[in-house]
Structure 1
Amino acid sequence: MFCDFLLASAHHLLLFGLVAMLAIQSALLARPIDAAAARRLVGVDRGYGTAAGLLLLAGVARVFWGVKGAGFYLHNPWFHAKVGAFVLAALLSILPTLAFIGWRRQATQQPGWTPEPDRVARIRTLVRIELALVALIFVFAAAMARHGGL
């Protein structure tokens, strides 16, 4: 029972950390991007990726070692929706990650360089879609915990 408590606590804290990283990215993308902002975005994105990876591990551990057991999760359609939203957010995060790395490289090589405003806007939109998907994950988790959301 204590193991389940620890896994649930880690899972929730990591999810809140992931939300914080996305919110920071969104805020940074609302301002002009210079070399310092590009470096910050890369660092925050690294934190986001770390939180997402650890969150996935904690979630898998809950499925197999948590009190409810794999049968509860694997037969629950809301669990599959939750995992699907997580995977979609992870796939969408690839483009911002590549953009941040490229922006940092460009800003380092060419002082005064800034990315095109329309490119920044597209990346900001992707980050906000990721935030919306995370909000859906919270909704799916609530439905899942209530035995199918009924």
Structure 2
Amino acid sequence: MLVRWLLAAIHLLAFGFALASIVRRSRGLRRCTSTEGLPAIFSADNGWGGSALVLIVTGAMRAFGGFEKGADYYLHEPLFHVKMGAFALILLLEIAPMMALLRWRNAVKNGDVPDLTHAPKYARIGRWQTLLLVVMVFAATGMARGIGLAGMGADGAS
């Protein structure tokens, strides 16, 4: 019981950190015109990556590690599919900014000036990721309250 509670709490806190980090990174990218703003962007990106890792690990443990209702429950839960669909879109959207930020980090490390012309595009991607993260939270809280249960009404009653 204690482990279930801690996993749930850590998972929920990671959503908060993820949201704050992606908003911070997007804001930095939107304003990025020189290398001066890159340390803050890299810091926010580190927070985004770390919180995403915590979300993945705790989510997998909760859904498939025997700590919660079990894989069968989640795999038959429509809101779980909504949550995982939003998660997959976030990951797909993350490919371009992640690759660019890796190039930028390497350029800065080597004393070069990275090409920042696509920073506004990555900021827009971050806005979409923020929206999808909110969708994930709504899906998760709906599941926790029995909304969307397969074969049940909206109020969770059969």
Provide Cα deviations, 1:100-139, integer angstroms capped at 9, x if missing partner: 23334445314xx6622xx222111101100010011112
How many residues align structurally?
146
Give the Cα–Cα distance (whole angstroms) in 2 for the partners of residues 56 and 74 of structure 1: 16
Give the Cα–Cα distance (whole angstroms) in 2 for the partners of residues 26 and 127 of structure 1: 5
CA offset at residue 8 of structure 1? 0.3
Q: Which has the higher contact order (CA 8 A, sep 6+)?
A: 1
CA contact (8 A) 1:42 1:97 kept: no
Please, which runs of 5 or more residues in structure 2 have no aligned partner?
149-153
For the aligned residue pairs, the C-alpha RMSD in angstroms reads 1.9
Is the counterpart of residue 109 in structure 1 residue 128 in structure 2? no
Please, which runs of 5 or more residues in structure 1 have no aligned partner?
none
Give the Cα–Cα distance (whole angstroms) in 1 for the partners of residues 107 and 71 of structure 2: 47
Q: Larger helix proportion, structure 1 or 2?
A: 1
Deviates more, 1:79-88 or 1:137-146: 137-146
Match of 2:47 in 1: 47
- Tell me which stretches of 4 or more aligned residues in structure 1 moved more than 3 Å: 103-108
Provide Cα deviations, 1:33-85, integer angstroms capped at 9, x if missing partner: 32232233223212211211121110111113334233321210110110111
Name the % identity: 31
Q: How does 1:55-94 map to 2 (within 5 A)?
A: 55-63=55-63, 64-94=65-95
TM-score by length of 2: 0.81
